[in-house]
Amino acid sequence: MNNTAWIVAALIAAFGIARAFGTYQPAQREGRAAAFARAVALVLPDALRPVVTERVALRNRGAALGLVAGIATTALVLATNDANSAQFASPFLLIGGAFAGVAVGVALAAARASAPLDPQAVKYARPSAVTLDDYVAPLERAGARIVVALAVITVGAAIATGAAVSGVLIGLVVLGVAALIVFEVAGRRIVGRGQPAESPRHLAWDDAVRASVLRDMVTAPIILGADAVVVAGGALVDHLLGGSDLAQIAIVVVCVLAAAGLAIASITSNPQRYFLRRLWPAGAAA
């Protein structure tokens, strides 16, 4: 791993630590909760403010600490890896490690989240079962599967043709597959957990936080898979075309354009409010 990569890793880790500390600052907690409310288009009533602010802070802390852990672990792996073979793949693995860390962090934070309710209060529940599809848009869920499958196929093709496949690249693919499995398994567990709520709006807020956690989790396999496709594609082209720089640049450009297209399609579909359209088509009640 070169010096630039080390500096970038250190900066990302510092950002993560600052974000984690921020989740203990009342002003930042309030600000993040308000920003989250705007993003998901839900009104945050005073009665729910403490609960929601705590849930959002817990989720953000999990993401920040996961980011730091992901970056630190990846940097450690890269530092102990063969520098030459990992040179091209290093930035991709760092990015993938960061997103994987965030996914693990938010999942652990979601597992810890619990808010005791007044046993004498009226409790509300949804009368129909919910699934992962109610929280994560099909584009993102299918996208994760397709990208990871592409990564496995590309790396398989690189190995089959005798292209240079580094341990780092194998690690990217393994991490991508693991992240996808973790999302599908842990995601189902998160969706299956109870949602005790004292009002329909309370339930809507729980849905909102839950959806954001699941979206963070599904992002990891997409990023790791895309990284693996780019790195393995580069190795494959390098091997087949004899180290043509133009071909390598072309494959990176194609992959970046594909990722940008996916990102634009995802953003324009307003995925952070997908759960509202799916679970609250008539709007979240007061």
Partner 1 sequence: MISVDPRSAVPPFEQLRVQLLEQVESGELPAGARLPTVRRLAEDLGIAPNTVARTYRELEATGAIETRGRHGSFVTTGGDAAEQQGQRAAREFAERIRQLKLPADDALAWAAAALKG
- The contacts of residue 275 (CB under 8 Å, 6+ apart) are 40, 134, 135, 207, 208, 210, 211
Provide, rounded to whole angstroms, the least separation between the CB of residue 128 and partner 1: 5
Q: Using CB under 8 A, pick the residue from 31, 45, 138, 192 that binds partner 1.
A: 192
Using CB under 8 A as the binding rule, whether residue 278 contacts partner 1 is answered as no
Q: Using CB under 8 A, pick the residue from 18, 47, 125, 153 that binds partner 1.
A: 125
Using CB under 8 A as the binding rule, whether residue 153 contacts partner 1 is answered as no
Provide, rounded to whole angstroms, the least separation between the CB of residue 278 and partner 1: 14
Using CB under 8 A as the binding rule, whether residue 195 contacts partner 1 is answered as yes
Provide, rounded to whole angstroms, the least separation between the CB of residue 286 and partner 1: 12
In terms of CB distance, is 27 or 282 closer to partner 1? Answer: 282
What's the one-letter identity of residue 62?
A: G
DSSP 3-state assignment of 89?
A: coil
Residue 162 CA to residue 64 CA, distance in Å, equals 39
How many CB atoms are closer than 10 A to CB 83? Answer: 12
Binding mask 130-149 for partner 1 (x = CB under 8 A): x-------------------
DSSP state letter for 197: B
Q: Using CB under 8 A, pick the residue from 38, 84, 127, 162 that binds partner 1.
A: 127
Q: How many residues bind partner 1 (CB under 8 A)?
A: 21
In terms of CB distance, is 121 or 185 closer to partner 1? Answer: 121
Provide, rounded to whole angstroms, the least separation between the CB of residue 266 and partner 1: 28
Chain centre distance of CA 205: 20
- The contacts of residue 147 (CB under 8 Å, 6+ apart) are 176, 221, 222, 225, 226, 229
Using CB under 8 A as the binding rule, whether residue 126 contacts partner 1 is answered as yes
- Do the Cβ atoms of 113 and 107 come closer than 8 Å? no
Whose CA is closest to 68, among 79, 58, 76?
76
In terms of CB distance, is 127 or 242 closer to partner 1? Answer: 127
- Binding span for partner 1 by CB under 8 A among 52-60, 74-82, 119-127, 218-226: 119-127
- Binding span for partner 1 by CB under 8 A among 1-9, 95-103, 115-123, 160-168: 115-123
The sign of the dihedral angle between the CA atoms of 263, 167, 105, 9 is negative
**CB burial of residue 115 (10 Å; 0-12, 13-18, 19+):** middle
Q: Using CB under 8 A, pick the residue from 122, 160, 246, 286 that binds partner 1.
A: 122
Report CA Rg, the chain: 21
Provide, rounded to whole angstroms, the least separation between the CB of residue 216 and partner 1: 23
For 197, phi and psi rounded to 5 degrees?
Answer: -140, 145
Binding positions for partner 1, rule: CB under 8 A: 117, 119-130, 192, 194-197, 200, 203, 285
